[in-house]
Amino acid sequence: MGSFGTVCICSRGVLDFLHISLSTWRRNMVKIKGLLIILIFALLMGCDKSPVREEAKVDRSLPVGKIAGNQFAGIRYPFKISAPPHWKVTTEIPDFMEELGYGRDGLKSSQLFLFNPLTHSNLQIDFQPAGRHVKFSQAMIEALTSMMTEGTISEFKEDYGKDLQVETDPTEPISLKGVQYAAKKYVTFPLNGVKREQGWIYAFTEPYQIFILYVILEKEGTNDREDIKKILDSFEVIEKK
């Protein structure tokens, strides 16, 4: 009990980090069990009271960014991204997102949505300032990304039935332009005759955490998986001048 208390006291920075990152995931897809695993992991990561970065200041009075056709350039956060011509790019929450299992409160935290209006395959992006005391690494990012899996699968089985057949793929590092560390994980399962891929990317580049959530709904005559790959290839964090 004493050692756990000590960890809690000297892990203020980790807890600041968790307050942002865990709430983002919780509001979007993950139940309590998966979050507890991450909390335990983070609390055991060690203690360092010294700040490792200045507090990131975000001017929320600024617009999220500018959309020109299917090109987006961030203003509030320094990133850009583009989508194929038959996709839509918007800062507004698409009407169908809640039908896919996302909570509206969670969706409000995402700055940008890209989606195929015919299939409803989609990708959303959420930037959040990182805690001042947290030291990130690729290993840490991959571990936290992996730990979302059990809670995500539990949530899907709660929503769609315990017999839902869910397949998982290994967590893997992913290269995103201008990003220091990033990892990707996804699960697939059939639902109402449609194969669904649900994926998440967790990333960090000073001084931001980046959450990218996507859904691919496979339908005949479409290639949304390739479209998502092109979208991610276009994503870039721009260094502020």
The more confident residue out of 151 and 137 is 137
Is the predicted pLDDT of residue 151 greater than 80, yes or no? no
Cβ atoms of 90 and 66 within 8 Å: the answer is no
Alpha carbon distance 34, 25 (integer Å): 10
The CA-CA-CA angle for residues 155, 103, 57, to 5°, reads: 115
First to last CA, the chain: 48
Q: CA-CA distance, 60 to 110, in Å (whole number)?
A: 13
How far, rounded to the nearest angstrom, does the alpha carbon of residue 160 sit from its chain's CA centroid? 22
State the pTM of this model. Answer: 0.83
Q: Write down the CATH number for the domain with range 2-58+121-237.
A: 3.40.1000
The proportion of the chain whose per-residue pLDDT surpasses 70, expressed as a percent, equals 79
| Residue 6 tokens, joined | 């000590």
Q: Examine the pLDDT at 51 and tell me if it is beyond 50.
A: yes
pLDDT of residue 95: 92
Least confident of 37-46, 55-64, 232-241: 37-46
Least confident interval from 34-38, 92-96, 158-162: 34-38
Residue 40 has pLDDT above 80, yes or no: no
Q: Are 133 and 49 in contact, with CB atoms under 8 Å apart?
A: yes
Question: Would you list the domain boundaries of the chain?
Answer: 2-58+121-237
- Cα–Cα distance, 110 to 133 (Å, whole number): 24
Q: What's the pLDDT band for 28 if we cut at 50, 70, 90?
A: low
- Residue 228 carries which DSSP code? H
Strand partners, 182: 203
Q: What is the pLDDT of residue 86?
A: 96
Contact 142, 158 (CB under 8 A): no
Residue 239 is predicted with a pLDDT of: 82
Encode pLDDT of 190-208 as tens digits.
Answer: 988 889 999 999 999 999 9
Element (H, E) at 114: strand 112-115
Most trustworthy range by pLDDT among 46-60, 127-141, 225-239: 225-239
User: How would residue 61 be classed by pLDDT, with cut points 50, 70 and 90?
Assistant: very high
What pLDDT shows up at residue 210?
92
Q: Which of 59 and 40 is assigned the larger pLDDT?
A: 59
DSSP string for 129-164: EPPTTPPP-HHHHHHHHHHHHHHHHHHHHHHH-TT-
